[in-house]
């Protein structure tokens, strides 16, 4: 089984983002960037499937600026076999990413594509579902457990009310949720080995995809600030405040 | 202009998230049709037609729609899309699963998780876990949108005078089948619609300590939630999770116990009306947004809170 896994370069989850003063976006210059945490889970799952003998090849794909190569290298150090980088400085919306990935899927013919359920920058939660739609493949979103059975896949999904299990036929698109696995740290020897693994580079035009944005970002502003309140000394004081001041209990 | 709201329901009743999405549709103005697709879901369709502001409930019934799998439901939505300027669904796991699939089939860039509607094309949505708010204008002919439930007050479930129209159930798309579900059984309210929530974090130390919070929840008629750290540590299931990657909530009262206040948790609860934090670390970031902070060992404070609440008359 051949697996394609998408990895996005995002502002590290520990960084407190700052809105640019001109209101065009958030400050990303000189900010620590990392692989989107849900995509780490995707790579980990793919590598585990390979280690279990279910998968034969794991390809990591990233789309965006030149530095996305670093994100691909991280995936290679975790155990992916090779990388694909779609190089562009343009802003890519989820629909454009899904179209570009469809073009890659058409070339590579993987049996499964794994993506994170959402990227922690735009929080869109769309790309996997869109890719599945464009391919006409079934989707297993927000997966917390995957079991491959020949030409089908049992997927346990995290839904608002609990868990849902579905069975989907392969090829299919999977998006990862938090509890699917705990991603490994790449070891130093594997980081060194990753430097020798191949990364193919191409441009959106090579794939025949128009990536013109459909959304215009009018402005980006700070959210309304919430002011801290008071400290209370005792539980009794807390209850008194909740009953008589806030009147919520 | 006509608007289609895709209902989240359990075949009998509408979820509160649907009522909030209808409220967002009302802001847009125009005829509001509600798609109720399921199996034997006539009762839910009747309920939708009665909601304030709804002109018509579209009732699609078929065995393949019983669990509203994304493949089937997206195909049905796409087949109807030509009649509408806007297609809305709640930004719940239901809406998040199906709507991008429909959007891609329509060649539309979806606008996710909107919190405000500026005009028919322009919407505000949080990005970076709510640390920035983006105003975006859609150039697509049909707008496909998911709505943040906490940003809109539910419409009244009575008082509408909509009709119910039967429509075809659409194609049974091969490739995906429902196997089963394991829904959390609880007599407590759902997190996303609870008036009061009490949540535990890593400070709870173990899932065995969550019953302390449950006792208080039962006294207050509250739901129990958790931070991602508590879910990661395996204390409680993922459906407890409040935050950027879990549920977004805005109750009247949110009590955060042993939660430090990581950005990603605040993203899910900072719009709560009143926030209480109980944490032994007085430097914890949660205190910067809490209305009432109690610096204390939760293993002393929580039992005391439970005991004190037992002595007084509380509003549920």
- Which residues in chain A are closer than 8 Å to B103, comparing Cβ atoms? 95, 126, 130, 133
Q: Measured between alpha carbons, how far is A23 from A220 in angstroms, rounded to an integer?
A: 5
Does this model's pTM top 0.90? yes
Does residue A97 lie within any of the structural domains? yes
Does residue A31 lie within any of the structural domains? yes
Q: Measured between alpha carbons, how far is A6 from A137 in angstroms, rounded to an integer?
A: 17
List all residues of chain B from 166 to 205 with a beta carbon under 8 Å from chain A.
174-184, 190, 192, 196
Does residue A19 lie within any of the structural domains? yes
E-only strand ranges, A95-151: 112-116, 139-149
Q: Phi-psi category of B299—alpha, beta or left, where left has phi over 0 and alpha has psi -120 to 50?
A: alpha
Q: Is A161 on the interface with B (CB under 8 A)?
A: yes
Outline where chain B has alpha helix (H). Answer: 16-28, 42-50, 70-80, 93-105, 210-220, 228-232, 263-269, 298-311
E-only strand ranges, B104-251: 111-114, 116-117, 122-127, 132-138, 143-147, 163-167, 176-183, 196-200, 223-226
Does residue A249 lie within any of the structural domains? no
Subunit contact B231:A178, Cβ cutoff 8 A:
yes
Subunit contact A220:B134, Cβ cutoff 8 A:
yes
Rg of chain A taking only CA atoms, in angstroms = 21
Structural domain span for residue A74: 2-244
Triad A138, A144, A148: Cα angle to 5°: 55
How does residue A224 score in pLDDT terms, banded at 50, 70 and 90? Answer: confident
Which CATH number characterizes residue A238's domain?
3.40.50.620
Portion of chain B with pLDDT greater than 90, in percent = 92
Instruction: Of B129, B256, B135, B145, give the one whose Cα is nearest residue B203.
Output: B256
Does residue A212 lie within any of the structural domains? yes
- Identify the burial level of B42 via C-beta atoms within 10 angstroms of its C-beta, where 0-12 means exposed, 13-18 middle and 19 or more buried: middle
Interface ipTM > 0.90: yes
Does residue A99 lie within any of the structural domains? yes
pLDDT of chain B, 316 residues: tens digit per residue? 799 999 999 999 999 999 999 999 999 999 999 999 999 999 999 999 999 999 999 999 999 999 999 999 999 999 999 999 999 999 999 999 999 999 999 999 999 999 999 999 999 999 999 999 999 999 999 999 999 999 999 999 998 899 999 999 999 999 999 999 998 778 899 898 899 999 999 999 999 999 999 999 999 999 999 999 999 899 999 999 999 889 999 999 999 999 999 988 999 999 999 999 999 999 999 999 999 999 999 999 999 999 999 998 887 6
Strand, coil or helix: A168: strand
The two tokens of residue B181 are: 């579900």
Instruction: Of B212, B218, B215, B211, give the one whose Cα is nearest residue B194.
Output: B218
| φ and ψ at residue A150, rounded to 5 degrees | 60, -115
Give the number of domains in chain A.
1
**Cβ contacts of residue B315 below 8 Å, gap of 6+?**
A248, A249
Q: Is A164 on the interface with B (CB under 8 A)?
A: yes
Tell me what pLDDT residue A207 has. 97
Interface test with chain A among B109, B239, B304, B310, by most A beta carbons within 10 Å: B109
Tell me what pLDDT residue B193 has. 86
Does residue A84 lie within any of the structural domains? yes
List all residues of chain B from 229 to 258 with a beta carbon under 8 Å from chain A.
231-232, 237-239, 241, 244-245, 247, 252-253
How does residue A134 score in pLDDT terms, banded at 50, 70 and 90? Answer: very high
Which chain B residue is nearest to residue A175, measuring alpha carbons? B97
Q: Is A142 on the interface with B (CB under 8 A)?
A: yes
What do you get for the CA distance between the two ends of chain A, in Å?
Answer: 56
């Amino acid at each position: 089984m051949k697996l394609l896994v998408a990895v996005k370069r995002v502002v590290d989850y520990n960084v407190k983002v700052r809105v640019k003063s001109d209101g065009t976006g958030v400050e990303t210059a000189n900010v620590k960037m990392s692989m989107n945490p849900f995509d780490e889970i995707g790579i980990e799952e793919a590598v585990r499937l390979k280690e279990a003998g279910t998968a034969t090849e794991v390809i990591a794909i990233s789309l965006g600026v030149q530095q996305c190569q670093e994100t691909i290298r991280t995936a290679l150090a975790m155990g992916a076999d090779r990388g694909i980088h779609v190089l562009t400085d343009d802003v890519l919306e989820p629909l454009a990413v899904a179209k570009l990935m469809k073009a890659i899927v058409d070339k590579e013919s993987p049996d499964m594509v794994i993506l994170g359920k959402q990227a922690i920058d735009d929080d869109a939660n769309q790309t996997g579902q869109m890719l599945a739609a464009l391919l006409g493949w079934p989707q297993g979103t927000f997966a917390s457990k995957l079991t491959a059975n020949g030409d089908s896949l049992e997927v346990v999904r995290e839904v608002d009310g609990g868990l849902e299990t579905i069975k989907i036929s392969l090829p299919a698109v999977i998006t990862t949720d938090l509890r699917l696995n705990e991603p490994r740290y790449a070891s130093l020897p594997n980081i060194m080995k990753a430097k020798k693994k191949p990364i193919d580079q191409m441009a959106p035009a090579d794939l025949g995809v128009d990536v013109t944005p459909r959304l215009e970002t009018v402005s980006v502003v700070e959210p309304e600030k919430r002011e801290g309140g008071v400290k209370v000394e005792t539980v009794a004081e807390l209850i008194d405040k909740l009953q008589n001041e806030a009147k919520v209990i | 202009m006509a608007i289609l709201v895709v209902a989240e329901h359990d075949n009998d009743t509408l979820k509160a998230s649907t009522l909030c999405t209808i409220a967002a549709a009302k802001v847009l103005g125009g005829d509001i049709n509600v798609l109720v697709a399921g199996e034997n879901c006539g009762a839910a369709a009747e309920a939708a037609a009665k909601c304030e502001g709804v002109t018509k409930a579209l009732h699609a019934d078929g065995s393949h729609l019983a669990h509203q799998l994304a493949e089937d439901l997206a195909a049905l939505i796409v087949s109807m899309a030509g009649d509408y300027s806007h297609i809305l669904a709640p930004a719940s796991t239901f809406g998040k699963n199906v709507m991008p699939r429909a959007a891609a089939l329509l060649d539309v860039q979806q606008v996710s998780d909107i919190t405000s509607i500026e005009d028919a094309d322009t919407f505000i949505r949080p990005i970076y876990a709510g640390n920035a708010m983006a105003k975006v204008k859609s150039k697509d002919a049909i707008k496909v949108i998911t709505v943040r439930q906490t940003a809109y007050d539910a419409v009244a479930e009575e008082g509408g005078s909509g009709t119910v129209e039967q429509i075809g159930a659409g194609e049974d798309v091969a490739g995906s089948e429902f196997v089963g579900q394991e829904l959390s059984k609880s007599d407590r309210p759902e997190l996303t619609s609870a008036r009061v929530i009490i949540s535990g974090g890593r400070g709870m130390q173990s899932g065995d300590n969550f019953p302390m919070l449950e006792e208080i929840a039962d006294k207050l008629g509250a739901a129990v939630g958790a931070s991602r750290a508590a879910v990661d540590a395996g204390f409680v299931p993922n459906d407890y999770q409040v935050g950027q990657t879990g549920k977004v909530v805005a109750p009247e009262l949110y009590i955060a116990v042993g939660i430090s206040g990581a950005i990603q948790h605040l993203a899910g609860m900072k719009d709560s009306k009143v926030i209480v934090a109980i944490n032994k670390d007085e430097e914890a970031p949660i205190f910067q947004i809490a209305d009432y902070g109690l610096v204390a060992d939760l293993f002393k404070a929580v039992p005391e809170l439970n005991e004190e609440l037992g002595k007084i008359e509380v509003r549920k």
